[in-house]
Structure formats: structure tokens, C-alpha cells
Amino acid sequence: MFTMIANFAAEWEKEAELTAQVLNGLTDESLQRRIDADRRTLGALAWHLVTSIDFMTSLGLDFKGVNEGEKASESAGGIAEAYRRISLALLEAVKTQWTDDSLRESRKIGGGEWPNSAALRYFLMHQAHHRGQMTVLMRQSGLRPPEIYGPTYETWVDKGKAPLD
Ligand code: NI
């Protein structure tokens, strides 16, 4: 859990950049990719990363998000641009509207008690969870996923090394 806003801000900047790299790697055609007919498409997962940031307004933060029901951008570039704007708006809101003390406050959400610091941590993990799903769908679309927490298969090949299996 975070005890200082500055620590969250530094981590959010890094993680949002990783998410942006995934979104920047998508093509319009790839947005339709899904593993099965009744599963979310790559585009729906990407848009979910944009709209889910709006959830943070239920913690009392005031910023302009994109509502869950809002029509998804149909272009990969549009989704990436919306994410960049909203992830920055969230960061600005946390930095300017909360203090380190705010991190210890908690709120009732969906029947549970959520310390603000835990909600921020959850949010970072939530992004990572969906990024993992998205990089699989990127591969299935013939796209090259970015390096996230380590080298990709292609990085090893580029370096002339045998990829780990
Ligand atoms: Ni989700």
C-alpha cells in the first residue's frame, strides 16, 4: 500500500507508459481479435482500460474520465489518445486533490471498505492484468508486443540469442 503520493505518482507514470506502449502497438484491424466468440475483443479490453479509470471518481477524486457506457473509439489511435489523456488526468487529480494523509482514508465501495492507498494499488494491478490478456491477443493478431517487465521473444531473436522456451 502507498504511504506517499509521490510513490504512487512515480509508479503510475511508469505503468501508464507501459500501458500506452501496448495501446500504441495496436492496429485498427487487431481491435476485433478475440480468443472466442463470447469473449471480449482486444478493442474492448483496450477501451476498458480507458473507461475503468473513471472508477477512481468514486473515491472522491474529481477529474474528467470516460464513462463505462460511453461509445468506444473504433480506432486504435483514438483509444491510445483517450488513455493518455485520462491517465494524466487521474495522476493530476491524485497529486493535486489528495495529500499523503488521504491515502489512509477509506471508503465503502460495493459493500467493502477500501483504503485509498489499497484502491490505488488495485488499480495498478488491474491494468497489468488486462495488459497481459492484450499481449496474447496482439500475438494472435500478428503484432509485436512491447517489452513490459522483460524481453520478448522478438528481443531475444533480434539480439541473436536463443529465445527461452
Ligand atoms: Ni477489468
Parent domain of 19: 5-158
The alpha carbon of 156 and the centre of ligand 1 are apart by a number of angstroms equal to: 31
The alpha carbon of 127 and the centre of ligand 1 are apart by a number of angstroms equal to: 8
pLDDT of 40-65, one tens digit each?
A: 999 999 999 999 998 888 889 999 87
Domain count, the chain: 1
Domain annotation covers residue 164: no
Domain annotation covers residue 135: yes
Task: Count Cβ atoms below 10 Å from residue 71 Cβ, excluding itself.
Answer: 7
CATH number at residue 64: 1.20.120.450
pTM for the whole structure:
0.91
User: Per-block average pLDDT, block size 10, for the chain (165 residues)?
Assistant: 95 97 97 90 95 89 82 91 95 97 91 91 95 96 93 90 77
At residue 165, the pLDDT reads 62
What contacts 132, CB < 8 A, 6 or more positions away? none
What angle do helix axes 42-51 and 76-97 make, rounded to 10 degrees?
20
At residue 124, the pLDDT reads 95
The alpha carbon of 101 and the centre of ligand 1 are apart by a number of angstroms equal to: 28
Locus of grid cell 480468443: 35
The alpha carbon of 153 and the centre of ligand 1 are apart by a number of angstroms equal to: 26
The alpha carbon of 88 and the centre of ligand 1 are apart by a number of angstroms equal to: 19
At residue 71, the pLDDT reads 82
